[in-house]
Amino acid sequence: MSAEYDDPNAISAIAETLAGGRQGLVNREHVTELATEVLRQVARRAVDLRRAKDQLAVLSTAIALTQGSAEEATAALESLDDPLNGLDWFLAERLGPIAKEIGVLWNTDKISFLEATVGASRIYSYLRYRRRPPLMPDRSVRKSATFALVPGDMHTLGISAATDVFRARGWDITLLIGQSHDELNAHFEASEDLLFGFSAGSDHSLAALGRLVVALTVARPAAHVLVSGQIAAEPGAILALPGVDFCETDMEAACRWFEAQVLAYPG
């Protein structure tokens, strides 16, 4: 620290000036202006330092996610997380800037396509399992779920029949047929359901199903997902999608799975 801060004469002179001494050379208005400028400059400097620190942390995390080990990636995300803040804060203040930084690194050829993909998958995995609640929140209807036909699929008979069966057994089912990916995503963001059933007729819908599961996970990380329909006849490809919890073609087995979720996470 410089010597001027240790000089008692200098400190005394400053105190006299702020008190309005020294033949009244400094009046109250000048003191107010001085104090205001001190506070403004210190606050501005603090903001600049915080932004620089945040930017460095975002860059370090982006590198850890794309080029580090799984443990390093998780540790980097956890270091930026805050259990006192909700998902919206985490997305806006942390994951959003990190995702943007990964995009910058990729576009400037500082990381490969594979590394960018690894980073994206790690963000997705962390988001999906971040603070999954041990209990489902209380809802007005205990057994509630959303059934949706994968966009572009025309096999409506099975999901319509399943909806009728579930409703007959006391379930409150929201049925979404013929909606686009964006329309379904808007529903996910507004819904209070934590149980979702997606249906598709063939593996031609696999890509659309994958996008739908990602959209749901980002909107509602605590959601549980069952996939049904003929696409579930070969479950290997379905269960390989991160975010799918169960895959079943049999109606009774699907009902048992949904009932088990309610028992495990009572509303």
Please indicate, yes or no, whether the overall pTM of this predicted structure exceeds 0.75.
Answer: no
Is the confidence at residue 44, as pLDDT, over 70?
A: no
More confident residue, 5 or 97: 97
DSSP 21-52: -TTTTS-HHHHHHHHHHHHHHHHHHHHHHHHH
Could you tell me if residue 163 is inside a domain?
A: yes
What percent of the chain is modeled with pLDDT above 90? 26
CATH number at residue 256: 3.40.50.280
Q: Given this model, what pLDDT does residue 109 score? A: 92
Contacts of residue 130, defined as CB under 8 A and 6 or more positions apart, other chains included, come to 81, 87, 90, 221
**Residue 83 is which amino acid?**
P
Does residue 87 have a pLDDT over 90? no
Q: Give the residue with greater pLDDT, 1 vs 81.
A: 81
Residues 23 and 53 in one domain: yes
Statement to judge: residues 175 and 97 lie in one domain = no
Retrieve residue 260's tokens. 């088990």
Is 136 inside a domain boundary? no
Does residue 68 fall inside a structural domain? yes
- Does residue 138 belong to any structural domain of this protein? no
Average pLDDT over residues 14-18: 51
**Worst-scoring range by mean pLDDT, 52-66, 143-157, 178-192?**
52-66
Averaged pLDDT score across all residues of the chain = 79
Confidence label for 1 from pLDDT (cuts 50, 70 and 90): very low
CB proximity list for 6: less than 8 A, separation 6 or greater: none
pLDDT of 195: 94
Is 200 found in the same domain as 75?
no
Tens digit of pLDDT for each residue in 156-195? Answer: 888 999 999 999 999 999 999 999 999 999 999 899 899 9
Give the pLDDT score at 80: 84
How far apart CA 83 and CA 87 sit, in angstroms, is 10
Output the pLDDT for position 13: 52
Co-location of 21 and 109 in the same domain: yes
Confidence of residue 41 (pLDDT cuts 50, 70, 90): low
In a domain, 112, yes or no: yes
Residues 196 and 160 in one domain: yes
Q: How far apart are CA 42 and CA 160, in angstroms?
A: 63
Neighbour-count burial for 100-125, b at 16+ CB within 10 Å, e otherwise: ebbeebbeeeebeeebbebbbebbbb
| Domain extent for 59 | 1-131
Among 98, 131, 164, which residue terminates a domain? 131
Indicate if the pLDDT at residue 47 is higher than 50: yes
36 pLDDT band, cuts 50/70/90, is low
Higher pLDDT, 139 or 62: 62
Q: Do 201 and 152 touch, CB atoms closer than 8 A?
A: no
pLDDT, tens only, 220-262: 888 899 999 888 888 888 887 878 899 998 889 999 999 998 8
